[in-house]
Chain A
Amino acid sequence: MTGADTGIATDPLAATRFEEPWHAQVFALTVALSEAGRFTWPEWTEAFGATLARHGKDRALDGGEDYFHAWLETLEALLARLGLAEPAVVEALRDAWEAAYLATPHGQPVHLKD
């Protein structure tokens, strides 16, 4: 359990980093929405805890990638429930972003077509 943490062997005060850019993005998005008053942090932790408990029934979560998958799933469901982000619209935008990446030459910034 202890060795999984990169950096602690060399620096016991090393800050933990987000492992993937999207982990950081989904975290920041959630905090921003809460700070903007769209939901309270206790509302968030309750929903997130329920997802973690459900996912953890079948196998033990390791707190890495699986943790952020549960985070994203919770955020999508919470925003759908609050009527802030409709699943069909989100899905269409996801596909639009994918198409934009596939249509953009390598090395150029990717923009969503309006």
Chain B
Amino acid sequence: MPHDSHDHDHGAHALLPPDPALRVRALETLLARKGFVDPAAMDAILDFYENRIGPRIGATVVARAWTDPDFRAALREDSTAALAAEGLLGRQGEHMVVVENTPEVHNVVVCTLCSCYPWPLLGIPPSWYKSDAYRARVVREPRKVLSEFGLTLPEAQSVRVWDSTAEIRYLVLPMRPEGTEGLGAEALADWVTRNAMIGTGLPERPQ
């Protein structure tokens, strides 16, 4: 990609990408030449992660769980199977566990090892999810970290932190907010924020 940077000081030649971009390009070239990777497969993967998935999919799942008792029961029973039936499983065969907030327990998701995340439901993780500050601290002092997100929980509600792995990813099912009685699944999905499904936020009235 010749237009990676906006540095026009180098005159007439194509704009030189930064060093890591050249190293990635080199790996790609070598692996494609060896037949270890198919450039068309890479394009399909990029399209999937950049355009086809994102937190709206997770929000749809949450809203349906709020309005469809059978679906909610299926998620409780076996999240992976319930999501697989909707075609919402990951590309790596990971197990999904939907953890349900209650007045007694608030759930928060982290990956202390790297950045495992329920990609098919939430898309690409935000930077803070991948930061050392979040990964290390949310386990040690969850209430303090949550307060930095503007979330103060009642003392009576305990906080449970779920550590994702390559094999198991978690999605928080927040409690349905008060004042949403009578709303259908589609309208409810607008209340569900990405952070509410990680546990660093709560559903919010749409702006």
- The answer to whether A and B assemble together is yes
Question: Hey, what's the 0/1 contact readout for B6-46 against A, CB within 8 Å counting as 1?
Answer: 00000111111111111111111111001011100111011
Which residues of B lie under 8 Å from residue A21 when comparing CB positions?
A: 1, 4, 17, 21
- Min Cβ gap A26→B in Å is 5
Asked if residues B41 and A36 are in contact (CB atoms below 8 Å), the reply is yes
Asked if residues A45 and B114 are in contact (CB atoms below 8 Å), the reply is yes
Asked if residues A90 and B126 are in contact (CB atoms below 8 Å), the reply is no
- Min Cβ gap B206→A in Å is 8
Asked if residues A1 and B24 are in contact (CB atoms below 8 Å), the reply is no
Interface residues in B120-148 (C-beta closer than 8 Å to A) = 123-134, 145, 148
Asked if residues A33 and B36 are in contact (CB atoms below 8 Å), the reply is yes
Which residues of A lie under 8 Å from residue B45 when comparing CB positions?
A: 28, 31-32, 35
Which residues of A lie under 8 Å from residue B24 when comparing CB positions?
A: 22, 25-26, 29, 72
Asked if residues A25 and B194 are in contact (CB atoms below 8 Å), the reply is no
B14, B18, B125: the one contacting A22 at CB < 8 Å is B18
Please measure, in the bound complex, the distance between the C-alpha atom of A15 and the C-alpha atom of B49, giving whole angstroms: 10
Closest to A94 in B: B26
Residue ranges of A at the interface with B (Cβ–Cβ < 8 Å):
1-2, 4-5, 8, 12-18, 20-22, 24-29, 31-36, 38, 40-42, 44-46, 48-49, 52, 56, 60-64, 67-69, 72, 75-76, 79, 84-85, 89-91, 93-94, 96-98, 101-110, 112
Whether A1 contacts B13 in the complex (CB less than 8 A), given A15-B124, A21-B21, A22-B24, comes out as no
Tally of contact residues, B, Cβ under 8 A: 74
Which residues of B lie under 8 Å from residue A22 when comparing CB positions?
A: 4, 17-18, 20-21, 24
Which residues of A lie under 8 Å from residue B115 when comparing CB positions?
A: 63, 67
Please measure, in the bound complex, the distance between the C-alpha atom of A5 and the C-alpha atom of B82, giving whole angstroms: 31
Please measure, in the bound complex, the distance between the C-alpha atom of A94 and the C-alpha atom of B28, giving whole angstroms: 10
Closest 5 CB pairs of A and B: A63-B130, A15-B54, A63-B131, A12-B193, A49-B113
Asked if residues A25 and B28 are in contact (CB atoms below 8 Å), the reply is yes
Which residues of B lie under 8 Å from residue A42 when comparing CB positions?
A: 165-167
Closest to B195 in A: A12
A1, A32, A76, A91: the one contacting B42 at CB < 8 Å is A32
Which residues of B lie under 8 Å from residue A108 when comparing CB positions?
A: 2, 14
Please measure, in the bound complex, the distance between the C-alpha atom of A84 and the C-alpha atom of B129, giving whole angstroms: 31
Asked if residues B36 and A36 are in contact (CB atoms below 8 Å), the reply is yes
Closest to B28 in A: A29
A13, A67, A90: the one contacting B26 at CB < 8 Å is A90
Please measure, in the bound complex, the distance between the C-alpha atom of A75 and the C-alpha atom of B50, giving whole angstroms: 21
Asked if residues A20 and B21 are in contact (CB atoms below 8 Å), the reply is yes
Question: Hey, what's the 0/1 contact readout for B46-62 against A, CB within 8 Å counting as 1?
Answer: 10011001111001000
Closest to B14 in A: A104
Which residues of A lie under 8 Å from residue B11 when comparing CB positions?
A: 106
